[in-house]
Structure 1
Amino acid sequence: MSDVEVDQGPRSTFSTYMAEGDQLFHKGEYSKAIASYSTALILKPEDKSCLVARSRCYLKMGDTDNALRDAEASLQEDKEFFKGLYQKAEALFTMGDLEFALVFYHRGRKLRPELQEFRLGIQKAQEAIENSVGKKLENKEDLSLFCKGEAKKGPPVTATQPQRRDPKQQNQKSANVERTSKQLLGQLYSDKEYLEKLLKDEDLVTGRMRDGERLQDLILHSVGYLDRRVDFWRQQKLIYARERDRRLLREKWSKGRAHSSPSDPTEYVLRSLEEIDAALTSGNAEGSLREAQKVMRTVQRWPEDMLPNRKEVLANLHTCMGNALMDLGKMDPALGHYQKSLQLATHSELPDAKSQALDNIGRVYAHTGRFTQAIDVWEQKVPLVRDSVEKAWLFYEIGRCYLELKRHAEAREYGCLSLDAADEIQDDKWLLNASILVAQADLHLGDFQSSTSHFEKALKRAKVLKDDSAVEAIHKVFSLSSHPHEKSYSMITC
């Protein structure tokens, strides 16, 4: 199809352009296929199958944002369009949004159980989640809370992001109720404000690299990738934490109980908590909330002496309700349940439950832009943390909050603590993210030599992980930092 044809409007029929796009797709000419599908969409802007077809092309080309956008558009009028559900799941999976990808694979399989694609999607998403947290579940060492050298250097910072789970933490999970986390994770990140100002600079917007690529596109691509890393690891931490907490509870509550029957109160509670978590993980937040409320009423009706660990059970149920409400975007009610959990844990001297409650309260504060409060709460949690992976996550989150407050020195200090914790357990994925955090902090502080060093470490980790998108993004950051506009870039993630 010629450029002239596009300029003058479609000259053929919708079905002709669709067939042309399909043929080009099968030949592997994805860019040309996109052009054909786009022309077809001029004739039928809301055609679901065409949107899915174009989404497939974008995904093949690595353009996950447009792939997800088209997949979601195909579901605009029909939320149960199975091809759209599958394509959305594929896009989320490629973006590293494993937990939410799993939600949509399950949703599609429920509608079309005979389709093998959904079964395979569920399998690969579950395996990816297990692979990303499996080694961490086996690590029992207690790490020192002190930085081994890096922490004294100075400050690190990190980008916050858009489109996947933030509330500001993020908009990342925004698009609809199923991706509430993305809405939460996305709009409070300070990078967005600065980018909007920076991109008004005509010299920067029109500037080009030696290879002809626009600086504007380069900046947006690089920052977008770094932001997605933040969201991906936040999800992994949540999955990991829930699985670990249930395992520890079962071990703790099973002591002294050689055998237990299904009617045993403790066994009933443990089984119910696992079902509540399973519902939440599969995307059924409302079902998870209802089940937690039902179990809460049951436990409250029991005599005090019927359940030895009654206070701890109630604290856990408040946590479950808070988690479900948070996924539904109801932040204030979620905070109320987390605070009740903290009260029970504090009065009953339950350190694990207290640590978990502080974790959750801090997340609500961070997601809603109350970064100072988040820091205060999370710093109370630091002495309670015994798990290596959780240390890396916690220090990272505190550093991000300091970054949001533009307190770059403190941000870098916690970024270094996160890097040291990640180094202790030699987890390449956490080392990658922590290195990026420190590198970004150094950019803010104008320490380009240190920034380059940490970006090089991040690049090495990305290659070990065979993370091609990370390698590409970091290479582009290197190119940008050597450009005359490098001073402007040092503030981009501010």
Structure 2
Amino acid sequence: MEEKQLYGALTVYRERGAYLRRLEQFEKAKASYDEAFNSSPEDVRMLTGRSQVCADAVKPVQAYADAEIALKLEPGNMNARNMQARAMYTMSDFERSVVMNFRGARVRQQPPYFMEGINQGVETIQDCIGVNSGNVMLEFLPIIKQVEAALPIGDEPVKPKHISRIPQPERKRKLTQMEARKDLTLARVLAMKYLGPMAYDKFFLQHLTSDPRLQSANSGGSKELKLIVDEALRSLCERQGMLRAQRPYYTIKLAEKAESKYQNKYKEAVLIKEREIGTRTAERLVRQIEKSLRQNRIMDVMTQAEQMQMFLDGKVPRTLPDKELYTDRLYRAVGEGYLAQHRLSYTLSERGNRRRIAFLMGLPVGRPKSFDSVMANYPYKFIDIKQATEKVAATLEMCENSTMKCWLMYELARLLCTQKNYALAKFYAKRCQREAQEIGNVPWWLNGLFVLMSGDMQQNNSNEVRIQVEEAYEYAKKLQDPEQVQAFLLKCGEMAAAPVLADERKAIVQRERQILAVMDEAQRVESSVLFKRMSTVPPGRRFSVLPRKDTGQTRAERKHRRQKGLSVIPGPERVLPPPPKSSTLGFQVFDI
């Protein structure tokens, strides 16, 4: 059954589109105009209305095409001519827009649409290349010279590059931390200048494109959300580009250079006040970190260090002149906090100290029998370890501060060691030690060595651990109080030298699987049942499937377990059988 056509569809959809355009809901307005176009594609009012909507929604190509179709249908329509001139202005063809507005103004003076278009176009041309732009070539001469110096001279013969038969990927130079910060600051300033309050929408959408929460189990909904975000961000970027073409940034900078003695004095006072507040805040945060460090509250040290790093990220050398100094103090305190964990406790037992060492070195530990201050104050982070690794690696690539590099390389080595990537963890730990040795920072050198020891102890490389302990024992003498670290190192070496008891259970299970794999189906089922029953027998009485020599341990165990007056050694405890149940409904058997 065919769908009935709406009576007066052209008028309904056209007027609805005009109403939505006045509400600035351009996507819905364009959809209504499209429905009207499907009903009657040769209506001039509909074409001019859709052209106006497309011009407002920063789609100048379609706006110009609709206005041109309307002029072909009705050459004397001034509204269509005005829409065509507006579309040319939106496409940044300002001279042609002014010419078309002049032609329309000769025919129609009122309403003053064409006169407004003329004034707008002339003002934009003055902003781009006229009196409002200033002396662009003189003011930006240093930048022009830098660009010319980077380009090769035309007369100089360019040597042909050697074309290798082995394809190699192109390597692009990555931005430094200062260059990335300048690039980000300039992008935000441009967005604020041209978009105004809508700049915050652009920042939110840019952050949303890389947000992992956008990817969910509902793949269809995730794709739809991503399309909406991309379309909204594209529209904002095109709007910003159009506004920047109409009024370049150098014109805005020239307008802001208006000389005002009182305004300059006010800006200078604001900058001085901001520097004072920033210095006071940085000193307060550093004192909090040092206080927590003296009390061995490492978890609080890391939390306060994150707060101070967020504070420093929002500052530039202009607003905080001693930013590098505070960064050094921050990560020097963080290094001392990490090193303070590696200490022995004289209130714990020998087993408690060994458990602490195993916990810090990433070895398996059991349930603690007593309170351990290091394990209680360990800075846990419940985050995705792969995302944390990618974030730390990206920060390390742009980092310029040496002490901060030591922290980033230590964190990266520790995360990789947690993921059992010992080779790469060793690489970054060595880099951390090298960087710390260059700046003369002993705590970070020792922290890098403890990461190396952690990986080697997890792999049971006792010789490597012994060499590292000897090296660190001598290097720790540069500390002010080396006794705690040296005692911890000696205990680590003692634990690494101790023999490791092998767990035979995994080997037994693997051997049983190999035996079952070479049997036929009937014997496999019977043997698997036999192996399960054998696993319940005590190890002294059990027939082992592993090849080994008889050492007489079975006889010794029988002698140890035998009791006086018993001729048979008790086996595994048997449970009572379940009480009998009657099949008769309502009948119950009582054990009297």
- TM-score (normalised: structure 1): 0.32
Structure having the higher helix fraction is 1
**Greater CA radius of gyration, 1 or 2?**
2
TM norm structure 2: 0.27
